[in-house]
Structure 1
Amino acid sequence: MTYLKPLFRHPRLPKNKLGYTLKEYEGSISTLCAGCGHDSISATIVQACFELAIEPHLVAKISGIGCSSKTPAYFLGNSHGFNSVHGRMPSVATGANMANKNMVYFGVSGDGDTASIGMGQFVHAIRRNLNMVYIVMNNGCYGLTKGQDSATADVGSASKSGHINPFQPVDLASLAVELGATFVAQSFSGDKQQLVPLIKAAIQHQGLAFINVMSPCVTFNNNPGSTKSYDYVREHMHATGKMDFVPQQKPIQATYAEGTDTAVTLHDGSVMSLHKLAPDWDPEDRLSTVNALQQARAKNEILTGLLYIHTGYGDLHKILNTTDTALNGLTEKNLCPGKKTLDTINAGLR
């Protein structure tokens, strides 16, 4: 068996403005279970990066441990990648981002990798507003170790073995809003129409963009009684609205027949155009978002779409007032101010 995709592609495949086809954004053949929701998420990342015409060599993919953390091998094969220690992806992403802020960073994690061993890392990545796309592929179980319940498994949810989870789940989307994340979204791996514009907006967002994606485990958590199964998620999804992502270079063409429309302008001039379906929800109001999430939870619904966004808060580099030049591009001339300046600095510390 080979893990490499065939080199041949149809010569008339559509190309983006860089002249690349989807081939340049794909990765190796997936070794995940057939039908795994994670592969659908990988496909949406490929599509989003292709449509935004992102140069693959300017992307860094960083993951932890778990089924989800294997996926960076399956998308953007021409990009940089690092598979880190369990739960420690945010630290590695922070170090890479501080060294070179001119890249697009994808942090890929799972519900075990983030909601259990990596919870502390998750909290501080949000607190620092690290400029990255943080995707959690959430299936409510530990797929690599035979399907035990994870911290996001809903109370009363039944595993494949028939075990009923007695514990309350960690609600990652609500937690991200409460912690002050500047971009919070939730989606379903089977909803490509919703997920692609969300990922495109997340890439363009200046700060940490968190997307919690329900991604059913077809082997261990796709059974009757599971609240993370394909059937359950499809039947209990409630979208905040329909959305379009409009890049800076293109005019807004999104129109809707009825309902309330709102447009959120990102820092680079790109626009997230939303047709709101939830009646009392404002994506730029944290309290409104918290209420909408709690109301959905009380109804056993899964609220999907762009939940909250705040564009007026700078990312980690702006907070620390770092140099405009990426740190890995600074030379000795930039870093060493000379003996006279150093003597003055040392004198001020005595």
Structure 2
Amino acid sequence: MTEMTTPRPGRVNAIGLAQADYKGLPSTLCQGCGHNSIANQIVQVAYEMNVRPHEMLKLSGIGCSSKSPAYFLGQSFGFNTLHGRMPSLATGALIANHHLQAIAVSGDGDSASIGLGQFKHLLRRNVRMVYVVENNGVYGLTKGQFSATADEGQSLKYAGTNEFPPIDICMEAILAGCGFVARSFSGDAAQVRELMKAALSHRGTAVLDIISPCVAFNNDDASTKSYSYGKEHEIPLHGIGFIPKEAEIEIEAYDPGEMRVVEMHDGSRIQLRKLEADYDPTDRLGAMHRLQWAQEQQEFITGLIYLNESRPSLAETSRLVDEPLSALPDERIRPPRATLEALMSGLM
């Protein structure tokens, strides 16, 4: 489903699709919204990785971010769910058909406020999917109230001052047992693409917390969710390039530093060239310490923060048969009458 080639501009990829075939509807979001950039990178990645749209499932909750799936992979399956309840729908859909590959788009309000409980349980179950959080620190769809990821002490014209500490999406994901946790900036298109490619090849849930500025309500220079702050303060933990199993691709040269190659479950590899000599993305406690340090220093760190390929996915834990449950005939998924009668008689 994600065989990799490097298609030439203006041509079709290895499965005969042009890049335009991976687009969706025209965006209705504000001009300059970071969410549009993320949707564009998903289109590019799907094209380069020869994704088959009919094998993809798009999911979202409620909010500006949750409109994004309408703007990419228009030929795939999609479901826009209730506010904060997308993880439940995702779990059910991917149990029914674990051959589908899913990209879920949520927001900081959708995942870190009303949906925090569902978000955490999705991660501990390790449902195989890419979970993108388009994080802008406000409820943009309802006129800019603070979300749970807003900076403590931040003041906005219409929302007043936020008195509460922020929830860190990446920290919560690591605590819940997620095996692929990354942070990026919508203004860093190259990094978003490489992380998305790696996430699509991950064995379980892959969380991408992407800071995506709200140009209407939270783009003040002092906000850690603004474009200017991101451009000036982004600190990549490492340069990152993705090398799939099927065919290696060239990556841009990075500043001198140590090289680390992390093997993925399907044989694919993530290549990391460290900018921080002592940072190890496979060190869980180290990753949490680095996130805490970044929050205290108001650093904006990006890259692959944590990786653990050892956890089985929910489909593996549930010992699902290879054929999707949704494709099995009734006689294979419904117990016969004699079995039900024996069960009922045992309850009397």
TM-score w.r.t. the length of structure 2 is: 0.92
For the pair 1:88 / 2:85, whether they are aligned, the reply is yes
Point out where structure 2 has 5 or more consecutive residues left out of the alignment: 1-8
For 1:30, what is the secondary structure of its paired residue?
coil
Q: Which runs of 4+ in 1 moved over 4 A?
A: 252-257, 336-350
Q: Which residue of 2 aligns with 1:269?
A: 267
Match of 1:44 among 41, 44, 47: 41
Q: Which amino acid in structure 1 is aligned with residue 196 of structure 2?
A: I
Q: Which residue of 2 aligns with 1:17?
A: 14
* 1:180-259 matches, cutoff 5 A: 180-251=177-248, 253=250, 258-259=256-257
How far 1:143 moved relative to its partner?
A: 0.4
* TM-aligned CA distance change 1:251 to 1:74, over 3 Å: closer
How far 1:228 moved relative to its partner?
A: 1.1
For 1:185, what is the secondary structure of its paired residue?
strand
How far 1:242 moved relative to its partner?
A: 0.6
How far 1:301 moved relative to its partner?
A: 0.5
Q: Which amino acid in structure 1 is aligned with residue 277 of structure 2?
A: P
Match of 2:284 among 268, 272, 286: 286
For the pair 1:104 / 2:101, whether they are aligned, the reply is yes
User: C-alpha deviations, 1:251-308, integer Å up to 9, x for none?
Assistant: 4755656211111111111111111112221111101111221222222111111111
Match of 2:300 among 292, 302, 320: 302
How far 1:344 moved relative to its partner?
A: 7.7
For 2:161, what is the secondary structure of its paired residue?
coil
For the pair 1:74 / 2:71, whether they are aligned, the reply is yes
Q: Which amino acid in structure 2 is aligned with residue 199 of structure 1?
A: M
CA distance in 2, matches of 1:49, 1:199: 9
RMSD: 2.1
Q: Which residue of 2 aligns with 1:314?
A: 312
* TM-aligned CA distance change 1:327 to 1:287, over 3 Å: same
How far 1:246 moved relative to its partner?
A: 0.9
Do the aligned residues in 2 keep the contact of 1:160 with 1:221 (CA within 8 Å)? no
For 2:155, what is the secondary structure of its paired residue?
coil
Do the aligned residues in 2 keep the contact of 1:18 with 1:53 (CA within 8 Å)? yes
* TM-aligned CA distance change 1:167 to 1:337, over 3 Å: closer
CA distance in 2, matches of 1:328, 1:36: 37
CA distance in 2, matches of 1:76, 1:14: 18
Point out where structure 1 has 5 or more consecutive residues left out of the alignment: 1-11
* 1:139-178 matches, cutoff 5 A: 139-161=136-158, 163-178=160-175
How far 1:197 moved relative to its partner?
A: 1.0
How far 1:345 moved relative to its partner?
A: 7.2
Q: Which amino acid in structure 2 is aligned with residue 138 of structure 1?
A: N
Do the aligned residues in 1 keep the contact of 2:144 with 2:159 (CA within 8 Å)? no
CA distance in 1, matches of 2:347, 2:47: 52
Q: Which amino acid in structure 2 is aligned with residue 111 of structure 1?
A: D
Q: Which residue of 1 aligns with 2:5?
A: none
Count of aligned positions: 340
CA distance in 2, matches of 1:253, 1:218: 34
For 2:242, what is the secondary structure of its paired residue?
strand
Do the aligned residues in 2 keep the contact of 1:239 with 1:277 (CA within 8 Å)? yes
Do the aligned residues in 1 keep the contact of 2:145 with 2:159 (CA within 8 Å)? no
Q: Which amino acid in structure 1 is aligned with residue 78 of structure 2?
A: G
TM-score w.r.t. the length of structure 1 is: 0.92
CA distance in 2, matches of 1:19, 1:346: 54
Q: Which amino acid in structure 1 is aligned with residue 227 of structure 2?
A: Y
How far 1:158 moved relative to its partner?
A: 2.4
For 1:198, what is the secondary structure of its paired residue?
helix
User: C-alpha deviations, 1:146-177, integer Å up to 9, x for none?
Assistant: 11111100112222447222110001111111
Amino-acid identity (%) = 48
Do the aligned residues in 2 keep the contact of 1:280 with 1:288 (CA within 8 Å)? no
How far 1:204 moved relative to its partner?
A: 0.8
Do the aligned residues in 1 keep the contact of 2:87 with 2:118 (CA within 8 Å)? yes
CA distance in 1, matches of 2:223, 2:250: 40
How far 1:101 moved relative to its partner?
A: 0.7
Do the aligned residues in 2 keep the contact of 1:158 with 1:225 (CA within 8 Å)? no
User: C-alpha deviations, 1:118-161, integer Å up to 9, x for none?
Assistant: 01100100010011100000000010111111110011222244
Q: Which residue of 2 aligns with 1:330?
A: 328
* TM-aligned CA distance change 1:334 to 1:299, over 3 Å: same
CA distance in 2, matches of 1:290, 1:278: 16
User: C-alpha deviations, 1:57-116, integer Å up to 9, x for none?
Assistant: 111101000000001111111111111000000001111101011111111100000110
Do the aligned residues in 2 keep the contact of 1:141 with 1:147 (CA within 8 Å)? yes
Do the aligned residues in 1 keep the contact of 2:146 with 2:159 (CA within 8 Å)? no
Do the aligned residues in 1 keep the contact of 2:180 with 2:199 (CA within 8 Å)? yes
Indicate the larger mover: 12-21 or 98-107.
Answer: 12-21
